[in-house]
Structure 1
């Protein structure tokens, strides 16, 4: 049996189809089907149940898959280790962040890398919604900063460390609150103003469900950055990640609105994420330790 055949078997379990394996491995569907049939002949027992519309694993195939995953992971780790042994510190360290998270939380850790590994180039980029996790899974980035839910583990073999809470705030420009007292605001006051809402947070949150009121006027935008700019322009009120408006609240360009019982509690955290299938280089490990050490201190703080 060949390693590429085991990789196809693992991808078949992940994607659910020969077409999915074909697209991920850039092979024709006929080549994938033949390789899987050859693997089945090599092991000497049926790996697949072909009685249905889709190719599914047999009971013995599922048992074989567990060990195949381990072999593939070990091979990926060996490649990663070989690259690190050849080059030492990484020539580049690619870090991506979800637009709902302020990248400034990474800056202290990045400064440590600059001091310790001046030859390592740091590449920092933002991604809409949860494309950051997809980049980690596809090997297009080493570290990602994003809101985290345990269900995301079904999309890849991830390792995570907590960075901070993920807080959603109700905010509005002061110009829209003229003549109103913040402490006396009620739900019906907001109904008189447009609501600015992202079309799809893609972070396991349905804003329509967590708000306990109907909206009359809505402006939907395609990302939280645009939402913040519209809020600053006084185009309406909205629910937005606190990381994105902290500075605006401090200088009173936006005001926080607190209405008891208006919004259900959202229990999310911002995590730093990396692949568990790679061996980290020293620059990546330095950033990881920066947050894992801080997480341990917070966990044991009285």
Structure 2
């Protein structure tokens, strides 16, 4: 919220979201998003918005004085000896990364940066992309965006994760037969990973008997192990081989792959904590990649 208050003060001085963005190194859209979220949190508007400019409304003028006082107090606290580094990392991660890559990577990170503060936010890739772009997060471990990235963002690939078909152990037939005869538990089509599965099924003309749609591959895996149906999920970060009662099925055609990596703002790369975190994730991803190569 301190970040939003600082954006508010600059926007009030400039009377323009675009000019405020230039001062802060943000896009106009990011400034507008932060102001809107601050207004939602406070419960009242801060600006009267016009075609090419913005001016403080009555509530905004009162809030500006208080925001300035809060920022002065906060900046004073940062000058005190022993106050924690205010540039702690704000990280986003999709669920499969939080359950696999992240714990081991954080062990290495904590040994190298024991005093660094770190905050981890969950979310799907589309949400995390928006939060990195709006400066709510420094970086996110997520699926590679399909569209081009703004010039102030950088993509670092970590792992190429293969999808696998899964069915209850003992289910006969190849993937096409299993899909025709077993209830299908679908990876949520609102997520980028689920959209990959949907496109694959359509490209190969594979019919399914949809019964459920979930956004957590690990939950889908447990559902299949309980005999509730079959599915297609990413199989490297989700512990497919460790769950009993599962039969894996080869996917026909070219391998179905999703790329997981780090999306980060360029401005955070000069921080030692950022470099250490990226290095820690890269090492852990390489270990998982080697295990996947041996099993294929």
Superposition deviation, residue 88 in structure 1? 8.0
- Structure 1 residues 34 and 150: CA distance shift in structure 2, 3 A: closer
- Residue 6 of structure 1 is matched in structure 2 by 19
Alignment counterpart, residue 30 of structure 1, candidates 29, 37, 48: 48
* Secondary structure of the structure 2 residue equivalent to 1:200: coil
Listed as ranges, the gaps of 5+ residues in structure 2 are 1-12, 40-44, 56-77, 290-296
Deviations for 1:230-272, whole angstroms, at most 9, x for unmatched residues?
Answer: 22322111111113433x31454422101534xx543431101
Contact between 2:175 and 2:250, CA under 8 Å: does it hold in 1?
Answer: no
* Secondary structure of the structure 1 residue equivalent to 2:236: helix
Contact between 2:152 and 2:265, CA under 8 Å: does it hold in 1?
Answer: yes
* Secondary structure of the structure 2 residue equivalent to 1:243: coil
Contact between 1:101 and 1:244, CA under 8 Å: does it hold in 2?
Answer: yes
* Secondary structure of the structure 1 residue equivalent to 2:177: helix
Contact between 1:129 and 1:201, CA under 8 Å: does it hold in 2?
Answer: no
Alignment counterpart, residue 167 of structure 2, candidates 127, 151, 172: 172
Question: TM-score scaled by structure 2?
Answer: 0.63
- Structure 1 residues 278 and 6: CA distance shift in structure 2, 3 A: farther
Superposition deviation, residue 144 in structure 1? 1.3
Alignment counterpart, residue 131 of structure 2, candidates 131, 135, 138: 135
Contact between 2:179 and 2:207, CA under 8 Å: does it hold in 1?
Answer: no
- Structure 1 residues 295 and 187: CA distance shift in structure 2, 3 A: closer
Alignment counterpart, residue 216 of structure 1, candidates 209, 229, 239: 209
1:207 aligns with 2:220: no
Alignment counterpart, residue 273 of structure 1, candidates 263, 283, 295: 263
Q: Aligned partners of 1:226, 1:293: CA distance in 2, in Å?
A: 27
Q: Aligned partners of 2:35, 2:84: CA distance in 1, in Å?
A: 34
1:235 aligns with 2:248: no
Question: TM-score scaled by structure 1?
Answer: 0.62
- Residue 283 of structure 1 is matched in structure 2 by 273
- Residue 69 of structure 2 is matched in structure 1 by none
- Residue 49 of structure 1 is matched in structure 2 by none
Alignment counterpart, residue 192 of structure 1, candidates 171, 178, 181: 181
Listed as ranges, the gaps of 5+ residues in structure 1 are 38-82
Deviations for 1:150-180, whole angstroms, at most 9, x for unmatched residues?
Answer: 51515x83212111112211112215x1xx3
- Structure 1 residues 254 and 95: CA distance shift in structure 2, 3 A: farther
Deviations for 1:126-169, whole angstroms, at most 9, x for unmatched residues?
Answer: 32343222232233332311110351515x83212111112211
- Structure 1 residues 285 and 260: CA distance shift in structure 2, 3 A: closer
* Secondary structure of the structure 2 residue equivalent to 1:220: strand
Q: Aligned partners of 1:21, 1:142: CA distance in 2, in Å?
A: 15
Contact between 1:145 and 1:270, CA under 8 Å: does it hold in 2?
Answer: yes
Map residues 1-302 of structure 1 onto 2, 5 A cutoff. 2=14, 4-7=17-20, 11-12=27-28, 14=29, 23=36, 26=39, 30-31=48-49, 33=51, 35=53, 89=85, 92-101=88-97, 103-151=99-147, 153=149, 157-174=152-169, 177=171, 180=172, 185=174, 187-203=176-192, 205-211=195-201, 212=204, 213-246=206-239, 248-261=240-253, 265-278=255-268, 280-291=270-281
CA-based RMSD = 3.9
* Secondary structure of the structure 2 residue equivalent to 1:239: strand
